[in-house]
Structure 1
Amino acid sequence: MWKKTAIAAIAVLLLTACSSDNETTETNDNTAKNNTEQNDAANGQKEEAEQSSFQYPLTGIDAEKESMQRAVAVVVNNHPKARPQSGLHKADVIHEVLAEGDITRLVAIFQSEEPEKVGPVRSARDYFIQLAQGYDSFFVAHGYSPDAKELLTNGSIDNINGMEYDGSLFKRADFRVAPHNSYISFENIEKGADQVGAEMDTPPASFDFVKSEEVSGEDAASVKVSYFDNPSFSPVYEYDQETGKYSRISDGEPMADYETGDLVQLDNVFIVEAPHRIIDDYGRRIIDLESGGNAYLLQRGKLVKVQWENKDGRIVPAGDAAFAPGKTWINIIPDNPGLDGFVTVQ
């Protein structure tokens, strides 16, 4: 009898031991699984954080990876016969500045996006080159003033010019007449850079961007900039509450891409006073882009009066003011009559 009892007791112990071993194995397996899931989640969060840590330097918009593209500056025609233009909706920064008379031209800086083509391309001025140098840009123009030609010939900036590449890199459109019909594709810009031995894999330094979405200032739903009361060069910036951006109206027409119809939409409109002086009978100018001065900064439907400064060759808000992430348009106007004479807030 005692033998049967002993055998039964041993069997119970063995079953208990096996059950304990199974529970321990299951517990260890579950712990390992939980640890693996936690590690995977942590790694996923880390990867997501690393991905979102990259931003385009001139817009502050998140990028999937570090952007290594060099900035490209293109002088774009703004004459009424050149509108609507091509490619401007993809520019990160656009400078609007007087050439001769009361006609403005545009110096468009591309880095985060590349349109298929840009144009019409127009001739350079020395202060256009100065604006492009602030972004270490590869510079594209078709023609030049005497002072601009000297700068380009002396190698002050990597460039290609339609005076040398008309009909090859630069193409003439048949739906417009010269000098309002010169266009260049981004593919040909890259070919041109290769031909002149220009490196294109060094991105520009980043802007400093505002950290908060809160914007103070007076309401500015519609702002007009009048270059000497010429209606063809008196753009209006209209704020859209839904998009949180400004659209630009040129001579009564929304500024849109010729090919796609996409609107030019802006997160910053920066209107700055700068001393202008006419230097010859052709009406060519010297523009002081160094000294700083009064400015209006439009963001998210608000206008604030600030100062501007030249920081490392760029026209930017001074002091605590900064650009918001997104695309920027910079209007450079003569300081006489300045903001009070050229700008109307509606």
Structure 2
Amino acid sequence: MKSPFTGLPIAKNVALKRPIAVMVDGSKAALPQSGLQCASVVFSASVEGDIPRYMAVFLDEIPTKVGPIRSARPYYIDWACPYQPFYVHCGGSPKALERLWNEKGIVNIDYIYLINGKGRETEVSNYQFFHRTKDRKSPHNLYIDLQHFQKEVSKKSAIGELHSDIANFSAYESIPHDWTPKNVSLIHNLEITRKQLLNHKKKIFFNYSKKKQKFERLFYCEESKKWQPHMDQNTSDIISIDNLVVIETGHDVIKGDLKGRVMIKTLSRGKAWFCMNGFMTKGSWLKITADTAIRFFDLKGQRIKFKPGNIWIEVISRKEKVKILSASELSPQSH
């Protein structure tokens, strides 16, 4: 059978396991992260201070080391809910923790609760699959051994077929058969400029590798004034993506929040860009309720068909800019 996340062939006993969603630190001190390349799906968004954070969803591959692990936010929980995952995190905002305490579909795996012996009956009681490394300072050094974790929770792991697949999948070698030159653009690079609250900018770059037939993720380093590859420590290689999705939605700083936390609008619809095999098409995304999966559509309202493989979903605000570069334009190495 096929994986509900990647569309790739997967053993039935694996497909019936509960997915594992892990909150991964995106700050500079967390680089390079471990395990993102093995994730079936990654949601990339910002927390307070415009610091990136990732929710990596694992099903097809289960790595031994994932992290550094950080705290939960409500919008990630909205994205996770339809897949009924084990939700691995280290604390969270007050609203996120309240939500997780009352959420029935998600199995809450909170490191802070586990080490303090405050886990609920639905949670595991052992936290030995977590560990802190000595090469980094806290809080950027907490990791989880997902293979150890999966063995620990094997009795709670099977949930049957997922209620919500994340996308439609179609096997093809080049572009989907239903794409035409009128709604498809050949691209070499995709650049996202993030304007921060402090009025300086961050840039993210996705470079298409013809050799890999994948998009590679890079970020602009202000200190060196150079593009840096976003590496995965487990593989010692740049993060490579089969299906790149950029979605635009509302971002608002929560009034009265002393830490300047943000609320990202998840139950809505908005613009989207879909990139695979060196091509891009525009469309939209839609999420009706917390319990329904996010859906992706082309400009004709038809469900997007993705290339079998991993999906990276980059979430941006309406103030941020997406720039599509053709093969004849500058690559990040020449900026």
Scaled by the length of structure 2, what TM-score is found?
0.79
1:96 and 2:44 are equivalent in the alignment: yes
The DSSP-based 3-state class of the residue aligned with 1:305 is: strand
| Runs of 5+ unmatched residues, structure 2 | 116-126, 221-226, 326-335
2:121 is aligned to none
Distance 1:71 1:278, change over 3 A: same
1:298 and 2:275 are equivalent in the alignment: yes
User: C-alpha deviations, 1:307-331, integer Å up to 9, x for none?
Assistant: 1112653333122223221111001
Per mean C-alpha deviation after superposition, the further-off stretch among 75-84 and 315-324 is 315-324
Distance 1:77 1:203, change over 3 A: farther
Partner Cα distance (2:98, 2:142) in 1: 22
Partner Cα distance (2:151, 2:205) in 1: 37
Q: Is the 8 A contact 1:316 1:322 kept in 2?
A: no
Deviation at 1:246, TM superposition (A): 0.6
Deviation at 1:155, TM superposition (A): 4.0
Letter in 2 for 1:253: Q
User: C-alpha deviations, 1:211-266, integer Å up to 9, x for none?
Assistant: 55425511221111222269895321110112211111134222222133143211
Q: How many correspondences in the alignment?
A: 287
Letter in 1 for 2:259: Y
Greater Rg by CA: 1
Deviation at 1:111, TM superposition (A): 0.6
2:118 is aligned to none
1:55 and 2:55 are equivalent in the alignment: no
Q: Is the 8 A contact 1:278 1:284 kept in 2?
A: yes
Letter in 2 for 1:180: H
Deviation at 1:188, TM superposition (A): 4.0
2:156 is aligned to 198
User: C-alpha deviations, 1:85-130, integer Å up to 9, x for none?
Assistant: 1111100100001111211100001011101110000000111111
1:81 is aligned to 29
Query: Residue 116 of structure 1: which of 55, 64, 67 is its match?
Result: 64
Letter in 1 for 2:141: N
Letter in 2 for 1:276: H
- The 5 A counterparts of 1:145-294 are 145-156=93-104, 157-166=106-115, 168-190=128-150, 193=153, 198-204=156-162, 205-206=164-165, 207-210=167-170, 212=172, 213-215=174-176, 216=179, 217-228=184-195, 233-251=202-220, 252-279=227-254, 280-294=257-271
The DSSP-based 3-state class of the residue aligned with 2:147 is: helix
The DSSP-based 3-state class of the residue aligned with 2:48 is: coil
Q: Is the 8 A contact 2:62 2:147 kept in 1?
A: no
Partner Cα distance (2:191, 2:200) in 1: 11
1:322 is aligned to 305
Deviation at 1:146, TM superposition (A): 0.3
The DSSP-based 3-state class of the residue aligned with 2:97 is: helix
